[in-house]
Amino acid sequence: MIMIGVLVAVSATLVWRRDGIDGVLEILTHDLALFGGILPRVLAGCLLGAFITEVLPHEKVSRSLGPNSGLKGLLIGTAFGAILPGGPFTAYPVAAALLTVGADFGATIAMVVSWTLIGYGRAVAWELPILGVDFTLWRIVISLPIPVLAGALGRFVFVQMYPKGEPTS
């Protein structure tokens, strides 16, 4: 957090030296507008995360997405990430909620990676218009195995690192 603050301050100073105060203000107004537009969605994402924590039965989640859920757990995580609506403001709160109710790192990694690589939201809104149909479709086809593989790798590494389960810190 402090690191980011310093990075932003340095960048803003560089912009000020290069473009003067107008450059700084232009970026500030643009980003403030962006921030205002995002805020309601962040609130929706946080509510979504809190409600999901309440609604999902912990026992069932740890069975179907927990450390012993096998390939099926990774596939469920992948499918869930692919159909999840919204942007980072929903994906991350929901993923955090899954961790809270008993999903393991592997299944949650599969979900986050699936959301970012094969989720339709960003592909339809940004990638198709900018990079074209051909590139986008092949990029998605090539990405299809990655969420499950990343989840499996994550699960494997996790067990090597913490053979007795996650440390409490």
Contact set for another protein, span 47-106 (CB under 8 A): 47-55, 85-90, 92-93, 95-96, 99, 105
Instruction: Rank residues 71 and 157 by Cβ distance to another protein and give the closer one.
Output: 157
> Cα separation of 58 and 54, whole Å?
9
- In total, the chain counts a number of residues equal to 169
Using CB under 8 A as the binding rule, the residues of this chain from 21 to 40 that contact another protein are 23-24, 27-28, 30-32, 34-35, 38-40
Kindly state the tokens that stand for 78.
């992948």
CB of 83 to another protein, least distance (A): 10
User: Quick check: 109 and 75 in contact, CB under 8 A?
Assistant: no
Going by C-beta distance under 8 Å and a sequence separation of 6 or more, which residues neighbour residue 12? Answer: 24
Residue of the chain from 8, 60, 63, 165 that contacts another protein (CB under 8 A): 8
Smallest gap from Cβ 168 to another protein, in A, equals 12
Report the site for another protein in 132-161 (rule: CB under 8 A). 132, 134-135, 137-139, 142-143, 146, 149-150, 153-154, 157-158
One-character DSSP codes across 35-73: HHHHHHHHHHHHHHHHHHHHHS-HHHHHHHHSTT-HHHH
- The number of residues that bind another protein (CB under 8 A) is 78
The tokens of 98 are what? 């899954």
- Near another protein by CB under 8 A: residue from 11, 71, 72, 165: 11
Q: Does 120 bind another protein (CB under 8 A)?
A: no
